[in-house]
Amino acid sequence: MANDCRFNTSLLHGTGSKGFSQREILPPVSQVTAFQYESMEDLEDVFAGRKMGFAYTRIGNPTIAAFEQKICALEDGAAAICTGSGMSAVSAALLTVCQSGDEIIAGSGLYGGTIRLLRNFEKLGIKTVFASRLDADHVRKLINERTRVVFGELIGNPSLSVLDVPGVSAVAHEHGIPLFVDSTTATPYLAKPLNLGADVVIHSTSKYINGNGNAIGGMIIDGARFPWNFEKHGALSEFSQFGRLAFTVRARAEISSNLGGCISPFNAFLSYVGIDTLGLRMERICENAAALASRLDEEKDVSVNYLTLPHHPDHAYVSSELNGYGGGIMTVRVGSKERAFKVINSLKYVKIASNLGDVRTLVIHPASTLYRRNSRQEAEAAGVFDDTIRISVGIENKEDLIDDFLNAIEKSRDERRN
């Protein structure tokens, strides 16, 4: 397949979509625990890495491998590792390069669960230093001799702050430090972080990649371009023989495997099928989100946070990093928690749910749910206030979505007057 084909063509016919052993169009579901061999010598060779093959589905499986190859090709990566969830992908990626005494620099506008995970790491002796803004200037000031990785979300969920990947990666690389990017909310349709300067990309495939809200999963993609210093990154020292692939080898053979956060073959299959429509879905989702944000921005008692709005502080990144799109998430503030609940409860088509990236529009009050266990300071740094509503826009007709939200907002006004 030529490299000059466009996104949807590459998605369906590129190197990550080759035919399978019995000429199937889609990968067969290898719903098994283990794989049999003709001799113990053969199985020993597989375990030792001397022979290609699968031994146990927690470590590897043909269906899961097909999904890994698909995402790896889509992100222009060198290797990919599928995990049981987005959180297990974040955990495995960071623990692969960090050990007790090491530090992580992270953006403060992270998903609440990720912030709590990084707080958990402190009990293992791994400290996280949170940057008020993850840009080159802030990162440069925070780097010290213990820093081992810079980590952030490309589009913050739900802060909608955008990571300056070229700028931050340049500063990190000056100091021999890699940049890990969670690109769940951007997807490869909006941006390919490895081509912008990132070293490792992470996805919660449960979101836009799957697209149908029917399978949990995560993915780690290694660009294999970072020149590891094995004295500095002592966690990788036992894998120095693998050079620039040391991260992937340790992540797969040791951290991900030993933590046990594996995906089921059937969930990998569901997400493999779901990703075929990623380009079409994202185009429609971004179109709907921009239209909804623009219309709601006209309401004087509603504050709208969305990247394509000219007044958004990171609006310039829409063209420089995000392929001209603003993504599928927006937040609105409506003045109080009580009114936020009234707006949410008055919606007709929109589903109240904690996921995002579905074909259906989903809405949630993050302060009382996703950030319930975070401090007020952490929540507000992520753009979450008592009156914040997070909207994950779907593929419905935009006119119906606009009418639904306007009617819900007007109903909340009527109840306030009464």
Who contacts 356 (Cβ-Cβ below 8 Å, separation ≥6)?
A: 157, 185, 207, 208, 328, 329, 362, 390, 392
Cα separation of 318 and 321, whole Å? 6
Token pair belonging to 158: 């739900």
CATH class name, domain 7-30+61-274: alpha beta
CA dist 179 and 107 (Å) reads: 12
DSSP 363-384: EE-GGGTTTTTS-HHHHHHTT-
pLDDT value for 33? 96
d(CA 105, CA 386): 27
pLDDT, tens only, 56-104: 999 999 999 999 999 999 999 999 999 999 999 999 999 999 999 999 9
Which whole number is the average pLDDT over 21-47?
92
Instruction: Indicate if the alpha-carbon torsion angle 177, 182, 187, 190 is positive or negative.
Output: negative
Summary mean pLDDT of the chain? 95
Report phi then psi at 182, rounded to 5.
-85, 110
Q: Which helix (H) or strand (E) covers residue 395, if one does?
A: none
Q: Is 104 helix (H, G, I), strand (E, B) or coil?
A: strand
Q: Where are the domains of the chain?
A: 7-30+61-274, 278-417
pLDDT above 60 for 115: yes
Question: Three-class SS of residue 402?
Answer: helix
pLDDT above 70: residue 417: no
Rounded Cα distance between 116 and 81, Å, is 23
The pLDDT value recorded for residue 166 is 97
Which pLDDT score is estimated for 25?
A: 87
Q: How confident is the model at residue 13 (pLDDT cuts 50, 70, 90)?
A: confident
Report pLDDT digits (tens) over 282-298.
999 999 999 999 999 99
The pTM assigned to this predicted structure is: 0.95
- Quote the pLDDT of residue 75: 96
Judged against a pLDDT cut of 80, whether residue 1 lies above it is answered with no
- What pLDDT shows up at residue 134? 92
- The string of pLDDT tens digits covering residues 298-356 is 999 999 999 999 999 999 999 999 999 999 999 999 999 999 999 999 999 999 999 99
Residue 282 is predicted with a pLDDT of 98
Q: What is the pLDDT of residue 48?
A: 87
> Which pLDDT band holds residue 2 (cuts at 50, 70, 90)?
very low
- Which pair of structure tokens corresponds to residue 1? 């397949």
pLDDT 10s digits, 18-28:
777 778 889 99
The fold of the 278-417 domain, in CATH, is Aspartate Aminotransferase, domain 1 (3.90.1150)
Place of tokens 């490869």: 188
Spacing of C-alpha 216 from chain mean position: 12
Distance separating alpha carbons of residues 206 and 213, to the nearest angstrom: 7
Distance CA 316, CA 335 (A): 28
Q: Is 137 helix (H, G, I), strand (E, B) or coil?
A: helix
349-406 pLDDT, tens digit each: 999 999 999 999 999 999 999 999 999 999 999 999 999 999 999 999 999 999 999 9
Q: How confident is the model at residue 3 (pLDDT cuts 50, 70, 90)?
A: low
Summarize pLDDT for 231-243 with one digit per residue, the tens.
999 999 999 999 9
